[in-house]
Amino acid sequence: MFTKHSLPKTGLLLFALYVTSATGAGDIPDGPYLGQQPPGSDPVLFAPGIVSDELANRDLAMLPDGSEVYFSANSRNFDLSTILVSYRGTHGWSEPRVAPFAKDKRFKYLEPAISPDGAKFFFVATERDQNNNDIWVMDRSGGQWGKARKLGEHINTDASETFPSITDNGTLYFSRASENPRIEHIYRSRL
């Protein structure tokens, strides 16, 4: 089982985060940004002990209303990688736990990205014994994420696709590995 205590200690440097609203009480501070100072021009450790804990945390995404926060938790060598989620409720934020869609132990999950309207959730997944990352997507309906599906051949190839980012007009930006393992290119796919 993938647990918080099976990974080495590191933190998450957050350069920018925008949350329209977040309130709550309990173990996790209330207010915008999980009770943290809004982002400025200097990078700071984000939410120590909440998001930035003993895990290798990165790739943070939130619903536009600030009610759900998702982030990757990885071992240093990425042998273990999953996406955690924390929900904001009437009594504050829940303890982060493995997201429901990221529990298949055959896969590594990382790099969550939510569309600006909160209707689509993109992430990267690959089978543990493979090095070919692919981009997946889920649609939101009735306050829940639907079934995850891999994007088609126009996005996913035999190369490794990573770092999905979606704009408000539906354009998907992502990176794709080239034949040179040290070089990746940024691609754009318009809706």
Q: Are strands 161-166 and 149-150 parallel, antiparallel or unpaired?
A: unpaired
Q: How confident is the model at residue 22 (pLDDT cuts 50, 70, 90)?
A: very low
Tell me the per-residue pLDDT of 73-113, one tens digit each, with 9 for 90 and over.
877 776 778 899 988 888 777 888 899 999 988 899 999 99
Please give the full DSSP string across 76-93, using - where no structure is assigned. TTSSSEEEEEEEEETTEE
- From residue 150, give the alpha-carbon distance in Å to each of 36, 63, 123, 155, 164: 35, 21, 9, 9, 13
Predicted local confidence at residue 10, as pLDDT: 31
Tell me the per-residue pLDDT of 143-191, one tens digit each, with 9 for 90 and over.
999 999 999 999 999 889 999 999 999 999 999 998 776 788 999 999 8
SS (H, E, C) the chain: CCCHHHCCCCCCEECCCCCCCCCCCCCCCCCHHHHCCCCCCCCEECCECCCECCCEEEEEEECCCCCEEEEEEECCCCCCEEEEEEEEECCEECCCEECHHHCCCCEEEEEEEECCCCCEEEEEEEECCCCCCEEEEEEEECCEECCCEECCCCCCCCCCEEEEEECCCCCEEEEEECCCCCCEEEEEECC
Per 3-state DSSP, what percentage of the chain is helix, strand, and coil (rounded to 5)?
Answer: 5, 40, 55
3-class SS of residue 6:
helix
Does the reported pTM lie above 0.85?
no
